[in-house]
Amino acid sequence: MTDSWTVLKVLRWTTEYLKEKGIENPRLDAELLIGSALDKDRVGLYLCYDQPLHSDELAAIRQLVTRRASREPLQYILGQTEFWSLPFKVVPGVLIPRGDTEILVEEALRILQQQGDAPDGGVTGSVLDVGTGSGAIAVAIAHSCPELAVVALDISPAALELAQGNAELNGVRERLRFCRQDMAHLDGCCDDGHAVNDGRLRLIVSNPPYISRAEMAELMPEVKDHEPHLALEAGEDGLDCYRLLCAQALRCLQPGGWLVVEVGATQAASVRQLMEQSGLEQLFQRDDYSGIARVVGGCAPATNSAEVEVEK
């Protein structure tokens, strides 16, 4: 690249280069990378196609393009992404929010609205987001339900720090409580000594790790080589986290409360079976917009057997 290169010429060259490197959406990635280097959005980029680029601008673009060509995720390079039409910061070491997970948020909100008992028809009570990561699910739910208290749980300090920043960024920090705790102990206490929950949750929602050990080796380089394996892998069959969640659900949910989870492309039937075996009822699944079963949910009985046991 030399000083004679215009924005359009660099855009075309970058698109072809990323395509050769196996990038799935080379034109879009090229636009976003170049726009980031020049501090312009995509519309601003279109308006300056004929603008010659200086050596420092070319160097900044080259640095970003080199990172993407090595299959580093675009979101880590840009430091941000969008989820539920809200801005989220992303950092290496924390799972990047996916669009598919918005289906989980849709189902969570549907259930919460059906449960709504506030005088104005709104939603009150509490929700537990297990494995919150960047905070995408917890923040999206809190942003959509101003009356709702949300507890966001993760084992990773880096994830919790990022999630708190994203809650602040989206104006819901005061309604989220963050807990560092392993999902194997949902009825325990987090680092600050407070209980994760009071055993009367309206909803437990989670996008847990669900990749099997064998599948890890087949993931795209962006995921396998850059995203945290702790947030991806879940044992030999990918179901370890669902087993933990289902085993604890009745101890944590109020009667009529729900456990709703995102699942892998072939896991819906297995997760439904785990929920049924744990005593959850009214089981359902929801497909994503590609027709793949993406969300599975189950409801605690109206008389929660776990609660009855405690009262005895």
Share of the chain above pLDDT 90, in %: 77
Q: What is the pLDDT of residue 126?
A: 87
Q: Is residue 191 scored above 90 in pLDDT? A: no
Question: Whole-number mean pLDDT of the chain?
Answer: 90
Gap between the Cα atoms of 75 and 33, Å rounded: 10
The domain defined by 80-311 folds into Rossmann fold (3.40.50)
Once rounded to an integer, what is the mean pLDDT over residues 191-218? 85
Contact 112, 148 (CB under 8 A): yes
* Confidence at 118, pLDDT banded by 50, 70, 90: very low
Once rounded to an integer, what is the mean pLDDT over residues 261-288? 96
Once rounded to an integer, what is the mean pLDDT over residues 243-267? 94
Map out the domains of the chain as residue ranges: 7-70, 80-311
Once rounded to an integer, what is the mean pLDDT over residues 225-243? 92
Once rounded to an integer, what is the mean pLDDT over residues 97-108? 96
Sign of CA dihedral 265, 266, 268, 274: negative
Q: Which residue has the higher pLDDT, 123 or 96?
A: 96
Q: What is the pLDDT of residue 310?
A: 40
Q: What is the pLDDT of residue 308?
A: 42
* Confidence at 196, pLDDT banded by 50, 70, 90: confident
Gap between the Cα atoms of 117 and 86, Å rounded: 27
Rounding to the nearest 10 degrees, give the CA dihedral for residues 175, 178, 184, 187: -60
* Confidence at 4, pLDDT banded by 50, 70, 90: confident
